[in-house]
Amino acid sequence: MAGSGAVEVQKKHPKIRKDDKVIVIAGKEKGKIGGVLKIDSEKGRVLVEKVNMVKRHSKPSMQTGQGGIIEKEAPLNISNVMIVCNKCTEPTRIESRRLEDGSKVRVCKKCGEPIDD
């Protein structure tokens, strides 16, 4: 269908930011909710608190003299998470709305409330 015309479906990333609450909607971590720790918008990846934990071996450090296994979050594909609205507590899509003073707010498409406090 390449070059078929004017209609171009743009799949925009949800406007997820650090500290947003998100729910995983696909993959083995499906259903888990956590706060966004880090976003890599170039790679389309997101790091979510306590989600997609992987075990890593840490080398013994000079300070503690011991190594061990530590658990750490591994990045998820950003399209596998959805923002959870803190007003209606539903996984939702968000849209940007411009206020009269020109500032932008992110609004929950389900309940219409701004999700930023």
Is residue 111 near Zn ion by the rule CB under 5 A?
yes
Residue type, 62: M
Q: What φ, ψ does residue 66 adopt, rounded to 5°? A: -140, 150
Of residues 24 and 108, the one with the C-beta less far from Zn ion: 108
- Of 36 and 94, which has the nearer Cβ to Zn ion? 94
DSSP string, 73-101: E--EEGGGEEEEPTTT-SEE-EEEEE-TT
Binding string, 69-98, against Zn ion, x = CB under 5 A? Answer: ----------------x-xx----------
Give the total of residues touching Zn ion (CB under 5 A): 6
Q: What angle do CA 86, 91, 93 make, to 5 degrees?
A: 95
Binding site for Zn ion (CB under 5 A): 85, 87-88, 108, 110-111
